[in-house]
Structure 1
Amino acid sequence: MSVSKLSILKKISPVALAVSSTLASGYAVASELNQTPDTRDEMEVIVVTSDFRGTELEKMPSSITVIDQQQIEDEGAQHFEDILNSIANFNWSGGSSRPKYFQIRGVGEQEEYQGAPNSSVGYIIDDIDMSGLGMISSMYDLQQVEVLRGPQGTRYGANALAGLIYLKSNDPTDVFEHGAEVSVGDDALTTFSGFSSGPLTDSGKLLYRVSLQQHKQNGYQDNLYLGRDDTNARDEFTGRAKLRWYATDDLEIDLTLLHADFDNGYDAWTLDNNGFDTLTDAPGVDKQRTSGSSLKFTYTGADAFDLVSLTSYASSQTHHNYDGDWANPDYWAGLDCGGEPCQYDYTWDKRGERNTVSQEFRLSSTEAGRIFAGSTDWLLGVYGMNLDENNEVTSFYNGWADEHVISDFNARNYAVFGQIDSDLGNGYSFSTGLRVEEREAQYDEDRLVDGEMKSSSFNPDETMWGGHIALSKTLSNTQETYIRIARGYKAGGFNMALPEQLADKTEYDSETLYNYEIGLKSIWLDGDINTNFSVFYMDRQDQQVAASQQAVEDSQRFYLYTENAGSSSNYGAELDGTWYATDNLKLYASLGWLETEYGDYSYQDKYGGTVDLSGRELAHSPKFTYSAGATYRTDSGWFANLTTSGKSEFYYSDSNESTSEAYTIFNARMGYETELWSAYLWGRNLFDEKYGTRGFYFGNEPDQDWADKQYIRYGDPRQLGLTFSIKFI
C-alpha cells in the first residue's frame, strides 16, 4: 500500500493509537478528519464474501474479523488451527486431533459424541456446509478467512446461533499462474503443496484452478509402552478444484469440488498430565474423509434483479476412537486394587457417515430494481437442506461390551428469507432482514440395554425465526458507526436411552439468542491505520447446556445429555486494527474482552447432590483473548514476521470447576523473497509454552478408588522448520 505518511506517526506508539481509537468521540474525530482527502480509492478493499451481496468490510454493520491471504502466508499458516488464536473472543475445544468444535463470544459446543448434530457455530468452506466437521481446513491457496460474530439468523439460520466461520479459496484466473511449496520440520513434518490456475479456452470464458496439499507429521507424542512416536500422527490430504464458465454475457457458472482425507491418530491423554509421554496399548484414531461440491449460477440478464442459484453437497465418513484407560494391562497389573492386581481396559469407538444436500435460490435487486424512489435494495430467497447421519458407537470395558448404539438421524430444513437495505440520506443507512425456518427431524436408535438391543425413536419438528435490524451512520469519509440488533435460534432436540434418574431430560427446547451491538469502523492518518471496535450484549434464552454424569454403579459409564439452563448473559468488546507504520513495516493486533454468566441453573452430580452454577462463567469463555503481529519486508527482499497470542484462564466444562491456565505463545518466520521463489525459516510456540486446550474432571484410576481428578490435553509444543516456495507465471 502506498499512502502518504505523517511525520508524527513515528512518535506515537501503537498502544496509544489503539486506546485513542477506542475512546475518542466519533463526531469529534469526524470533524477533524473531514479535512483530509478520501484515501479509500488508494487502499485495498476487503470484501466480505459470506454476505448476500459481497459487501465491503467497513460497510458491514457487524463485528467481523477477516484474515486475508497475505497474513495467512506471512504467518506460514498450514491449518485453521494456526490462526484461530488471532481472532478476538474466539476459542476452540481440543478434544479431537484438529479443531472441530468452536466457541464465539462464549457460545458453542465442546464435543459431540452421540450424533444428531446441532451446531451453534456455522462452518462453511466455499459454500459447502461443514458445520460440526471443522477439522478439514487447510489454509493453502486460501483467499481469506471470515469470522462473523453474533447470530447470523437472516443469512444462515439455525447453524449460526453464535456466528459463522467462512473459508474462501482463491478463484480461477484469466492468466496462467502456478506454484509449489515444500515444508520440512522437526516432529517428522513434511508438507507438499501446489496450485495451477488459468484459462482452459482461447476465448477466456472457461477458467480453472486446482490446489493440492499433503501434510504429515508425527503428532508430538511418544508412546513409551509401544516404543513409537507416531501414535498421534497427522496424515492430511486436501484437494480443491474450481471451474468458472462465462456461459453468456449474463450467466456465470461456478463449480467447486473439494476432497479431504484426514487419516490422523489420536493418542493425546496421560494419567499423570505430563502431556506428551503416553502409555496406551491401543492408540486411537481421528479420521475424516469428505467429498463435497458447490454449484453456483449467477444470472444478471434481468433489468430489475439478479438471480442466484446455489447448490451444495457434502459426504463425510468419520472414525473417532480412543483408548479410554490411557494405559495398558501391564501398567494396571502393577498397581494394587483392594489387595489384587488392577485389571482395567477400556476402548471407545464411533464410526459415522454424514450426507448433506442444500439448495438456495435468491433474487436481489439491481440498481434499476431498487424501490422507494431508488433508495432501497431488496433481496428474497428460499432455502432447503437435507441432512442424513448414521453412527455406530461401541465400547468395551474389561472385555465386555459396555455400549453399543446404532443410530440414524435425518433433518430437513426449509426456510424463506428476505432483506432490505436503505439509504436514508444524511449518511444514514438502514438494514433489516427476517428468516423463517421449519425443521423436521427423525431419530431412530438401537441401543444395548441389559444385554439386549432395544429400539427407540423420536421425531420433533418446530418452526423458528431470526433476523436483524441495523442502523449505520457515516460520520465522515473515514468513520462509520452502527447499532445492530440480531435474533438467532438453535433447534431443540432429545436425549435417548437415559437412566431412570434422568428420565426428565429426554427432551430439551430450542434456544434463542438476542445480540445487541454497537460498533465503530475507522480509518486514521490518511489510511495508514484502520480499526474496528464493537461492544455487545447477548441475552440467551433457554440456553442449551451439554451435561454429563459418571455413574456410581459403573465407573466407566457416562450419561451425556443436553438440557436447558434458563437464561444467561454474555457481554464484552472486540478491537482489532492494522497499522502500516512505514512502506516496509506492518503491525496488527486484536483484543477481546468477554464476560459470561449463567442465569438460574443447577444440576445433580453422580452422588445425587445439587451443583449450583447460577452466576458462574460459561465453559471455554476466557475473559481476555489477544494477539499482535509485525511483518517487515526490506526493499532487497528480506522478510520477517513475529506474532504473539494468548488467552486468560477459562473453565473446561459446564459440569465441573476444572480450569485452564492463562497462556501466551510466540511464533516467528523469517526468510528471503523474490518474485519467483522464496525461502523461510520458521518456529511455532518458540518458548515451548505448555497450554491446555481441553480438560476433563472425573475418576479414571481404579487404584485410587476412581477418585475424581483433572486431566488436561495440551496444545502443540515448540516446532521449527523450513519452507521453500516457487511460482511460475
Structure 2
Amino acid sequence: MKKHTLQRILSTTIILCLFWSVPAMAERQNMGEPAGKKESGALELDTMVVTAQKKEKKKLKVATNVTALDGFSMEDMGIDDIEEFTDFAPNFNVDKLTSHGSQMVFRGIGGVTYMSPTFNVNVDDVTIPYSAVDIFFDAQQVELMRGGQGALYGRNTHAGMLNVVTRKPTASFCLDSSVSWESFHTGKAKLAFGGPINENNRYRLALGYTTTDGYMENEFLGTDDGLRQEQFTGRFSYQHFSSEDSEILFTLLGDSYEAGFGGYAPIIADGRIPAKTMSNKDGEEEGHLLSPTLTWKKDFSGATLTSITNYSNSFFSYLFDYDASPQDVIMQDYEDEWSVFTQELRLSGGKEDGFKWLVGAMATVEDYDLLNDMYGGADSRLPYLPAGLHTITNSGISSKGAAVYGRLENRFLEKFEVGVQLRLDYENRELDWQTRYEMGGVPVMPLQNYNTEEDWFAVMPSFDLSYLLSENQRFYGTVSRGYRGGDFAAAQYSLDAVKATVEPEYTITYEIGYKGLLADKRFELDAALFYIDWSDMQVSITDGTSFLTQNAAEATSYGFELESRWLVTEGFDIFASAGWFCGDFDKYDNHPSSKDLSGNKLPNANEYSISLGARYRHDSGLFTSLSASYMGPKYMDELNEIKQDAYALVHAKIGYEGEKWAAYVYGRNLLDEEYLLHTFGNMSFGASGKVAEGAVYGVQLNYFF
C-alpha cells in the first residue's frame, strides 16, 4: 500500500475544501444535529440522556466515564463501524480477528484471552451472541460505558460495555435512504422507513446491504479480493400502545454475510508490516443471525415495570490458511452455533433529584456447539499434524444462569449523591467434548471423550459518590467489582488443555472524575482517572496449533481519559479527546515459552491517543467535517515481541444538503497509514498479522423526508 501521488493530491484537496467552507453555520431540523438554539433562543449543547444503566439518566449524572454519540453525529463524522468508533473513544481498542469478528478492549481488558467468544455489546437491552452484526445500523445513539458494569450486567462487563439504542417507530411517516460507492469496489445501500398504522400502532423497517472486493492483495494467487464480503442486514420494529401507560415493542433483527478469510501474512523479521499476503488459499467466512425481542413496559403509580424476552440464534464459520504461507501446510475449518434465550424483569421508580431505585432479575439458557477441524496439507512435515491428518473436535457447552440485581441512589446534604449497586450471578456450565483423528475419513487413533460440569457464583458490588459543585458540575468516585466468566477450552484437541478448566477472572476498578457543562452550556468537559487490579487473569497463548488458556497472571493498570465538546456558534462544534494507559503483568511466570513475562505490557492497548475534530453546517446547505486521531504505540502480543508504532488517522467529509436530499464526498485514512489490526503467534511458523485498509475515497447520496 504505497502512498501514491494521486492519493496525496486527493487527500490534500479534500482537506483544503473543508477549510474553504464558511464556518457560520445554521442547523437543519430534519438532520437532527445535537447542538444549536433552544426554544428559549439560547445557544447551548443538547443534554445527552443515556440508558446504559438500565434506565434513562442524563450523561452528566452517570458516575462513570461515558462516550455517547447520537446516530446523526456518527453519520456526520463517518463512523460506520466499531473500528472507526475507537478514533473518538480514548482507551478503547478493537482487536479485529476476522473480517467480521472483533474483540473489544476496554482499558486494556479483553485483549489477552481467546476462550469461547465474549459478547459485551447490548442492542436495545439485549446482548447479541454474534460479533458480525452491523451494530451501528439504524442507530439512534451509541453509549460506551467504561469501568466495571458487572453490578448491573454481570459477566464479561468488568471493564465496560457498548450499549446501542436503535431508532424506534415514529408518530409520522418518515424515510431515510443512502447509497455510497468507495475504494476497493465497495458499495453500500441503506433504507429505513415507517410510521403510524393507526392511533395505537406504529412500525419501522430498516434494510442494509454492503458489498466489497476488499483491500488485500494475494501475490501468490494473483488475486485482490481475499477480503471480499457481501452482507445483508434487516431490522423490523412494531410498537403497540395498549393504553397511555402501557407499551409493547417487538423487534426482529436479521443478518447474513459471506466473506473471504484472507489477509494474514508472516510478520517480516525486522518488524515491517506485511502489506500483501502470500497464502496458498484465500479462505472463506460466513455467518447469520436471527434475533426476535419482545419488550413490554407498564407504568404504575411511581414505578415502571419492564419485561424483555429474547431468543437469538447465530451461526459462524470460516476456512483459514493457518500457516499464512505459499506452502500447503495447515488449514483450519471451523464453525459454531449459538442458541440463547434470555428473560429479564426490572422494576424502577423514584424522583429525579431524590431517592431512586431499580431492582431486576434475569434468567439465561445458552447452547453453544462447535466443530474445529485442523488438518495437515500436502506440504506439511509437522510431526503433530502430518499431511492428510485431520484433528476434528466436536464440542457442546450448555449453560444455565440466573441473576438478581439492584441499584439505590439518593441525594443528601444538597451537594452529595450516593449510589449502591449489587448483582448476584449464578451460572452452571456443562461440557461435552470429543476429538477424533482421521486420514481419508478413516480413524487412525482412539476416539477421545470428556464431559465435565462447573458451577460459578459471583457477587458484584459497586459504590459511587458524587459531589455537586452545581447542577451542571460534579466530581465523582466509583469502586466496582466485576468478573469474566469461567469457561472450558472447548475448541482444543488436546485433552490436557480441555481438562484445565479456566476459573473466572476478577477485577476491582477505582475511578474518580469530573463532569461539567460550562460556558452557558456551550462547553462540555469530562475527565476520569482509573486504577484496575486483576486477579486470576485469563490469558491465552498458542502452542503449535492449540490455544492454551490459563488463570496465569495478575496485573494492574491505570490511566486517564479526557473528552470535550464546544459549541462555537450555531451549527459549528468542535470536539477533542485524549487518553493515556499503562498496564503491566504483575505476575506471569508460567508461560509455555518458559519466559517470565512479569513486568511486560498488556497487549492490544495503545499507550496514548489524541483526537480532534470539527463539524460545520452552513445555511446555504454546505456541510463539512474533519477529524484527526493520533494513536500511540502498543504491543500486539503478551511476549511484547510485536509492536505497533504510533500512527495518525485523518478522516474528512464534504457535501451539500438540500431539503430532502444530500450528496457527499468523503475520505478515510487520508494519510494512507499502515498499521496492524491483529496478530497471532505460532510456535511452528512464528507470528502472522493483518494490516488495516489504506486510504479510502467515496461518494454518498442520501434521500429523506
Question: What SS does the corresponding residue of 1:423 show, helix, strand or coil?
Answer: strand
**C-alpha distance in structure 2 between counterparts of 1:39 and 1:309, whole Å:** 40
CA distance in 2, matches of 1:99, 1:628: 28
Q: Is the 8 A contact 1:93 1:110 kept in 2?
A: no
- Show the counterpart of 1:653: 637
Cα deviation for residue 66 of structure 1 reads 0.5
Of 244, 262, 277, the residue aligned with 1:267 is: 262
Distance 1:111 1:684 in 2: 30
Counterpart residue type for residue 222 of structure 2: G
Inter-partner Cα distance in structure 2 for 1:565 and 1:258: 39
Q: Which of 471, 494, 505 is matched with 1:477 structurally? A: 471
- Alignment CA distance shift 1:278-1:617 (3 Å): closer
3-state SS of 1:107 partner: coil
Counterpart-to-counterpart distance in 2, 1:155 and 1:352:
28
- Choose the corresponding residue for 2:67, options 65, 73, 83: 65
Deviation track 1:156-215 (CA, whole Å, cap 9, x = no partner) reads 1013121101111111110111121110112111111111021011x2x21111111101
Q: What is the identity percentage for the equivalent residue pairs of Structure 1 and Structure 2?
A: 26
Question: Equivalent residues in 2 for 1:710-725 (5 A)?
Answer: 710-725=687-702
Contact 2:182 2:698 in 1 (8 A): yes
Correspondent of 2:414 among 401, 404, 426: 426
* Residue aligned with 1:72, SS: helix
Q: Out of 531, 534, 553, which is 1:537 matched to?
A: 531
> Which residue does the alignment assign to 1:241?
236
> 1:693, CA displacement in angstroms?
1.5
Match in the other structure for 2:278: 279
What aligned pairs does 1:419-498 form with structure 2 within 5 A after superposition? 419-448=407-436, 451-495=445-489
2:362 pairs, out of 383, 393, 400, with: 383
Give 1:477's aligned amino acid.
Answer: E
Aligned twin of 1:337: none
Identify the residue that residue 524 of structure 1 maps to in structure 2. Answer: 518
Residue 727 of structure 1 aligns with which residue?
A: 704
Q: Distance in 2 between matches of 1:465 and 1:165?
A: 22
- Counterpart of 1:122 in structure 2: which amino acid? N
Structure 2 residue 318 is the aligned partner of structure 1 residue 320: yes
1:4 corresponding residue in structure 2 = none
State the superposition RMSD in angstroms: 2.3
| Deviation readout 1:349-380 (Å, 9 max, x if unpaired) | 1111101110011111245xx9xxx9422222
Residue type at the aligned position of 2:636 = Y
Task: Give secondary structure in 1 for the equivalent of 2:150.
Answer: coil
**TM-score, scaled to structure 2:** 0.87
Aligned mates of 2:462, 2:429 — CA distance in 1? 26
Match of 2:160 in 1: 163
Partner secondary structure for residue 196 of structure 1: strand
Could you list the runs of 5+ residues in structure 2 that have no partner in the other structure? 1-39, 378-386, 438-443
Q: 2:621 aligns with which of 637, 643, 648?
A: 637
Local SS of the residue matching 2:643:
coil
Matches of 1:234 and 1:96, distance apart in 2: 12
Q: Which amino acid aligns with 1:413?
A: G
In 1, Cα distance between equivalents of 2:541 and 2:455: 23
Give runs of aligned pairs for residues 71-110 of structure 1, distance below 5 A.
71-109=73-111
Q: Please name the residue that 1:553 is paired with.
A: none
Q: Helix, strand or coil for the counterpart of 2:662?
A: strand
* Alignment check: 8 A CA contact 2:542 2:682 kept: no
Equivalent residue letter for 2:287: Q
- Deviations along 1:474-501, one digit per CA (max 9) or x if unpaired, are 101331211111111222233466759x
Match of 2:136 among 139, 142, 151: 139
Give the equivalent residue in structure 2 for 1:599: 586
Residue 299 of structure 1 deviates from its aligned partner by 0.7
For 1:557-596, what aligned pairs fall within 5 Å after superposition? 558-596=545-583
Q: For residues 523 and 363 of structure 2, what CA distance do their matches in structure 1 show?
A: 42
Counterpart of 1:549 (choices 537, 540, 543) is: 543
Alpha-carbon distance in structure 1 between the residues aligned to 2:494 and 2:152 = 39
User: CA contact under 8 A between 1:430 and 1:470: conserved in structure 2?
Assistant: yes
Q: Which residue of 2 aligns with 1:185?
A: 182
- Structure 1 residues 628, 359: CA separation in 2 closer, same or farther (over 3 Å shift)? same
Shift of 1:625: 2.1
| Contact 1:94 1:694 survives alignment (8 Å) | yes
Distance across 2 between alignment mates of 1:171 and 1:382: 25
Could you tell me how far apart the structure 2 residues matched to 1:458 and 1:212 are? 43
- Take 1:725 and 1:638, find their aligned partners in 2: how far apart are those partners? 14
Q: What is the CA–CA distance in structure 1 between the aligned matches of 2:227 and 2:578, rounded to whole Å?
A: 33
Structure 1 Cα separation of the partners of residues 415 and 505 of structure 2: 36
Q: Which amino acid aligns with 2:84?
A: D
C-alpha distance after superposition, 1:540-594 (max 9, x if no partner)? 11111122323xxxxxxx2312211343111111111111122232111111111
1:82-128 deviations in Å (ceiling 9; x for gaps): 2222211011112211352110000014564x6x44x3x61112223
Equivalent residue number for residue 192 of structure 2: 195
Residues 57-102 of structure 1 deviation map (CA, whole Å, 9 limit, x = unaligned): 0011111111212221112233222222221101111221135211
Mapped to 2, the partners of 1:88 and 1:642 lie a distance apart of: 18
1:668 partner SS: strand
Q: C-alpha offsets along residues 596-617 of structure 1, whole Å, 9 cap, x if unaligned?
A: 01112112435xxx21111221
**2:210 pairs with 1:215:** yes
Q: Identify if the C-alpha distance between structure 1 residues 503 and 101 changes in structure 2 by more than 3 Å, giving closer, same or farther.
A: closer
CA contact (8 A) 1:127 1:294 kept: no
Q: Which SS does the other structure have where 1:85 is aligned?
A: helix
2: CA distance, partners of 1:376 / 1:40: 31
Native 8 Å contact 1:548 1:655 kept in 2: no
Instruction: Name 1:353's counterpart in structure 2.
Output: 337
| SS of equivalent residue, structure 1 residue 247 | strand
Structure 2 Cα separation of the partners of residues 575 and 656 of structure 1: 27
Counterparts of 2:504 and 2:278 in 1: how far apart (Å)?
Answer: 42
Q: Relative to 1, partners in 2 of residues 1:680 and 1:426: Cα closer, same or farther, differing over 3 Å?
A: same
Q: Which moved more, 1:503-512 or 1:308-317?
A: 503-512
Residues 110 and 543 (structure 1), Cα distance of their counterparts in 2 relative to 1, 3 Å cut: closer
Out of 245, 251, 258, the residue aligned to residue 256 of structure 1 is 251
Q: What is the alpha-carbon distance in structure 2 between the residues aligned to residue 687 and residue 643 of structure 1?
A: 12
Query: In 2, Cα distance between the equivalents of 1:652 and 1:352?
Result: 26
Distance 1:173 1:58 in 2: 27
Name the SS for the 2:76 alignment partner.
Answer: helix
Secondary structure of the 1:460 match is: strand
Query: For residues 288 and 625 of structure 1, do their structure 2 counterparts lie closer, same or farther at Cα, with a shift above 3 Å needed?
Result: farther
Distance 2:369 2:177 in 1: 38
Aligned residue pairs, count: 646
**Shift in CA distance, 110/208, structure 1 to aligned 2, threshold 3 Å:** farther
Distance in structure 1 (CA, Å) of the matches to 2:267 and 2:488: 36
Given that residues 429 and 472 in structure 1 are in contact (C-alpha distance below 8 angstroms), is that contact kept between their aligned partners in structure 2? yes
Q: Deviations over 1:247-267 (max 9, x none)?
A: 112211111110111211111
TM-aligned CA deviation for residue 633 of structure 1: 1.7
Aligned to 2:289: 290
Distance 1:519 1:211, change over 3 A: same
For the residues of structure 2 that align with 1:652 and 1:459, how far apart are their CA atoms?
A: 34
**2:13 maps to which residue?**
none
Deviations 1:275-307 (A, max 9, x none): 44333332112222011122111111x324221
SS of 2:72's equivalent in the other structure is helix
Equivalent residues of 2:60, 2:472 under 8 A apart: no
Distance 1:135 1:271 in 2: 25
Q: 1:236 to 1:646 in 2, by over 3 A?
A: farther
